[in-house]
Amino acid sequence: MSQVFFDKSIKIELTDVFNVKLTLGDGTVYENVELRRLFPISDRDHYISLIDKDEHELGMIRDYSDITEESAAAVKAIFNDYYLIPKITKVYECNDKNGPLKIVADTDHGPTTFTIRNRHNDMKFYDEVKVLIRDSDDNRYEIEDINKLDKKSWLLLASFL
């Protein structure tokens, strides 16, 4: 079976927090469609898979420009909640005295405290300045630019990166 790529002939509408209604150009309607980014970290705006309630892929969006602005807005609204990755803006504590690395920080969604099981696997650099952190509960946090953190935050993190 060949891959189906969607274009401006489809319509995507929000139906709840994480699902959409997909209407194809021929009028076929699919309810409760789930959206999944194939590259949620490295390429957020390309290759979005649409999955039906039986876990079958209906097709894919290569790029937001391939669909209408209204459909793209619905897709982006879903991803704003589904792929929420708080951005760390300040670090207050970073220590591993009792085993796992504990971080106390401010994010763009408020203060947080979390632990990291394995800092070598769970703290990764992207694009030389971006840091992605996965905590022991599989939540993700991002530092958009390590060089833009205040000096104290940078020093607290530096020995663990």
| Average pLDDT score over residue span 85-114 | 94
Query: What pLDDT does 155 receive?
Result: 93
Of the pLDDT bands very low, low, confident and very high (cuts 50, 70, 90), residue 99 is confident
Query: What pLDDT does 81 receive?
Result: 75
| Average pLDDT score over residue span 34-45 | 86
| Whether pLDDT at 40 is above 90 | no
Radius of gyration of the chain (CA): 19
Of 2-11, 29-38, 125-134, the least confident: 125-134
Query: What pLDDT does 1 receive?
Result: 55
Report CA 140 to chain centroid distance, whole Å.
Answer: 8
Domain boundaries, the chain: 11-82, 88-158
| Average pLDDT score over residue span 99-115 | 95
Task: List C-alpha distances in Å: 112 to 15, 85, 108, 123, 135.
Answer: 31, 13, 10, 17, 11
Query: What pLDDT does 107 receive?
Result: 96
Q: What value does the mean pLDDT of the chain take?
A: 91
The full 3-state SS of the chain, as one line of letters, equals CCCCECCCCCEEEECCCCEEEEECCCCCEEEEEEEEECCCCCCCCEEEEEECCCCCEEEEEEEHHHCCHHHHHHHHHHHHHHCCCCEEEEEEEEECCCCCEEEEEEECCEEEEEEECCHHHHEEEECCCEEEEECCCCCEEEECCHHHCCHHHHHHHHCCC
- Condensed to tens digits (0 to 9), the pLDDT of residues 140-151 reads 899 999 999 999
Statement: the pTM of the whole predicted model exceeds 0.85: no
- Condensed to tens digits (0 to 9), the pLDDT of residues 116-135 reads 988 888 998 888 889 999 99
Beta bridge partner(s), residue 50: 35, 59
Q: Which two tokens stand for residue 100?
A: 């796992």
